[in-house]
Amino acid sequence: MSQPLDLAAIATRKSALTFRDAWQERLERWYAHPGLYRWSLRNPLTRWLTRRRTRKLFDLMAGFVHSQVLLACVRLDLFRALHHAPASLDDLARRTRIAPAVLQRLLLSAVALGLLEHRSQARYGLGPLGVPLAQHEGIAQMIEHNHLLYQDMKDPLQFLGNAWSGGMAEYWPYAHDQTARQAPAADEQAKFTRYSELMAASQGFVIQEILSTYFFDEHRCVLDVGAGRGRFVGELAAHAPHLTFKMFDLPPVLALAREGLQAKGLADRVSLHPGSFIDDPLPEGADLITLVRVAHDHPDAVVRQILKKAHAALPAGGVLLLAEPMAQPEEEAGQPNASADAYFHFYLLAMGAGRLRTPQELKALMEEAGFTHVERVPNPMPIHTRILLGRKSKCLPSDSPNSVN
Ligand SMILES: C[S@@+](CC[C@H](N)C(=O)[O-])C[C@H]1O[C@@H](n2cnc3c(N)ncnc32)[C@H](O)[C@@H]1O
């Protein structure tokens, strides 16, 4: 890895030994007691707790098998094939050309994981977790893409020694290589096309979170920074017909966006601003800047630059909306979402020099760039994204010659 990585700011307790430390040590000793396991299973009040802990540990151990079952089902296109059309083992074996006794192992595993379900007449249909996979192409594309990450991580210690020697670093040209943002060679263009297509396919859930959470009525013009092929701009344009747009992204990416915008009849409402937020200023004229799944790709120093440039480009009273997956904040510790953090920590490490930040860390970076009234907007599905808003103050900064102290 050629670039130094930033450390996360972990809220540490100052005093040498707290009551909480003593309690945690006591619990650990208690968990380790050789008789506890048998005793807790005999006791109906504690049995469920021990069973749950054992099952969670087993799931951690089996996670690789679970994701391979998922990948095999995606590659065999089972979710789309079985949507509204349950089928028997023999029928599926014929279609997939896999021996029935082997395929049955896969189908039974998929049933156990809730992806498929047994139906009447010995048929298999979609289970509750299989339905979204049949409906949203973007999920299947992310599952296929994750295979790259899992290949990089197959020897985890080697991966920790050099996380950027595999397929993920190769896939994301800008996230670790500062030169990749300049005009790419012809064969490099394919990389920009490939990741931009994946981003567009996987952005649907994020867009839904933003559109269902934030009212755009007060705005006239939106600048989407790191806009990709423009799926967010396209959907927001339909959602809020009064808005006009500016899109900012690397030149090879915006070249891909142009055609799509014309096809959607948006060419008059959207202007394209190719550039790099590392080398160039952001265009002025928008009263809302959106930064969707961008900051986590970059180290703190670059995020500081982007936020400062966003602040400079906004008029007084303008708003920055930052949306991306964030690390679980401390006040939500212990809630089930936390395991998504492990995925994002490793995904972003394999990708480049960015990192998963907590809402508090991003809020601090936004405030440092000059934004005030930075707040979290609660949204229904934080696993897809969390949302922060900050305003450029209408008041003069306190060090301005015109300010009254
Ligand atoms: C993870 S993608 C997110 C795209 C889109 N906002 C979404 O949510 O699907 C990050 C975007 O930031 C763009 N980007 C990366 N480095 C950039 C730079 N230096 N200047 C401008 N855009 C950049 C990438 O080209 C890519 O389109």
Q: What is the pLDDT of residues 373-401, one digit of tens each?
A: 999 999 999 999 999 999 999 876 666 55
Give phi and psi for 182, each to the nearest 5. -75, 170
Q: Is 173 helix (H, G, I), strand (E, B) or coil?
A: coil
Q: Are strands 123-126 and 87-88 parallel, antiparallel or unpaired?
A: antiparallel
367 Cα–ligand 1 center, Å:
22
Distance CA 78, CA 81 (A): 5
How many C-beta atoms surround the C-beta of residue 21 within 10 A? 12
> Is the minimum distance from the CB of 361 to ligand 1 under 6 angstroms?
no
pLDDT given at position 403: 47
Distance CA 237, CA 58 (A): 47
Report the nearest-CA residue for atom 18 of ligand 1: 276
145 Cα–ligand 1 center, Å:
17
Q: Give the DSSP H/E element, type plus range, for residue 374.
A: strand 371-377
> Is the minimum distance from the CB of 249 to ligand 1 under 6 angstroms?
yes
Q: How high does pLDDT run on average in the chain?
A: 92
Give phi and psi for 118, each to the nearest 5. -75, 140
User: For a substitution probing ligand 1, which of 145, 174, 205 has the most ligand atoms within 8 Å of its CB?
Assistant: 174
> Is the minimum distance from the CB of 310 to ligand 1 under 6 angstroms?
no
What are the pLDDT digits (tens) for 15-41? 667 888 899 999 899 889 989 989 999
pLDDT given at position 339: 84
Q: Which two tokens stand for residue 299?
A: 């180290």
83 Cα–ligand 1 center, Å:
34
Residue 405 has pLDDT above 60, yes or no: no
pTM recorded for the entire structure: 0.92
Residue 357 has pLDDT above 60, yes or no: yes
307 Cα–ligand 1 center, Å:
14
Cα 53 to the chain's mean position, in Å? 27
Report the nearest-CA residue for atom 19 of ligand 1: 276
pLDDT band, residue 9 (cuts 50/70/90):
confident
* Nearest alpha-carbon partner for 366 in 317, 318, 306, 315: 306
175 Cα–ligand 1 center, Å:
9
> Is the minimum distance from the CB of 276 to ligand 1 under 6 angstroms?
yes
User: CB-based contacts of 69: which residues, under 8 Å, 6+ apart?
Assistant: 106, 109, 110, 113, 115
- Averaged pLDDT, 3-23: 81
pLDDT given at position 75: 98
What are the pLDDT digits (tens) for 220-248? 999 999 999 999 999 999 999 999 999 99
What are the pLDDT digits (tens) for 143-195? 999 999 999 999 999 999 999 999 999 999 888 776 666 556 667 789 999 99
Long-range contacts of 236-244 (CB under 8 A, 24+ apart): 236/207, 236/211, 237/264, 237/266, 237/269, 237/270, 239/211, 240/216, 242/217, 243/216, 243/219, 243/269, 244/220, 244/269, 244/270
User: CB-based contacts of 303: which residues, under 8 Å, 6+ apart?
Assistant: 295, 365
What are the pLDDT digits (tens) for 27-85? 899 889 989 989 999 999 999 999 999 999 999 999 999 999 999 999 999 999 999 99
User: For a substitution probing ligand 1, which of 172, 199, 232, 289 has the most ligand atoms within 8 Å of its CB?
Assistant: 199
252 Cα–ligand 1 center, Å:
11
Atom number, ligand 1, closest to the C-alpha of residue 292? 6
pLDDT given at position 14: 62
> Is the minimum distance from the CB of 294 to ligand 1 under 6 angstroms?
yes
357 Cα–ligand 1 center, Å:
17
pLDDT given at position 135: 94
